[in-house]
Amino acid sequence: MIPLWTTPIDHEPIQNVTVPDWFPAAQHPDAPAGALLDWLCGQGSLTQRLTAAGPNDFRVELLWQGIQTGRSDELQAFGLASGEPLWVREVLLHTAGAPRVFARSVAPLQTLREARVDLNSLGTRSLGELLFSDPEIQRGPIQISRYPAAWLPARVRAEQLWARRSSFGRGGQSRLLVCEVFLTGWPPAGQPHAMETSPC
C-alpha cells in the first residue's frame, strides 16, 4: 500500500527548479509541431488513446500518492496561498512496452473530502477513465509547457520534455488539476495524427 504521508524520494529539491511557464495550447510562442502537438492538444481521454496506440498492454503504474505542499504553479491555478497542502497522485502510463507518460494529479484537500469516489483507493485504476466516464465533469482549457526534469522520476528523467495540464470540475469550479508529461520517444516518429481538424 502506498503510504499517505511520505514525500517522494527521487525528486530533486524544489528550490533547484524553474517552474513551468504555462500557456494556452494555441498561444504558446514556441509550441512543438506535428504529432506531439496533436497529442498535447487532444481533448479526448489520454487513457483511451494510449490504449489504442499499443498492443493491448496499457497499464497504470502508481508511483506515489498522498499529501504534499503544493507547488507554486499548482496553488496559483487553484487560487490558494503559498504553502497550502494538496492531495497528490503520481503515476506512469505504460503502453507499447514502456512508460510513455508521467502524470501528476493534484487537488485541494476539500476536494478529497467532497469527492463522490474515494480517490485514495484508485490504486492502479486510471484516473482519466474515471473523469471521462462522468458526464457532469467538465474539462478546462489545455495549457502546455516544457517540464522541469527535476520533477520527473529518476528513471524517466530527461530535459526539455513537453507537458500539458488542464483542470476538471463540476459547475465551472476547478477541483482537480491533471498534468501529463510526454516522455522521451513518445509519440513515435512518423505516427499519424488523430482525426482532429483543429487540435488546439
Summarised one tens digit per residue, pLDDT across range 1-11 is 333 444 444 55
Residue numbering of the annotated binding site for substrate: 89, 127, 180
Cα–Cα distance for residue pair 177/105, rounded to 1 Å? 6
Cα–Cα distance for residue pair 67/152, rounded to 1 Å? 18
Q: What is the pLDDT of residues 150-160, one digit of tens each?
A: 999 999 999 99
Mean pLDDT of the chain: 85
CB 149 within 8 A of CB 141: no
CB 89 within 8 A of CB 115: no
Question: What are the structural domains of the chain?
Answer: 33-182 (3.40.1410.10)
Of the pLDDT bands very low, low, confident and very high (cuts 50, 70, 90), residue 195 is very low
Cα–Cα distance for residue pair 37/196, rounded to 1 Å? 12
Residue numbering of the annotated binding site: 89, 127, 180
Q: Grid coordinates representing 199? A: 487540435
Cα–Cα distance for residue pair 100/60, rounded to 1 Å? 11
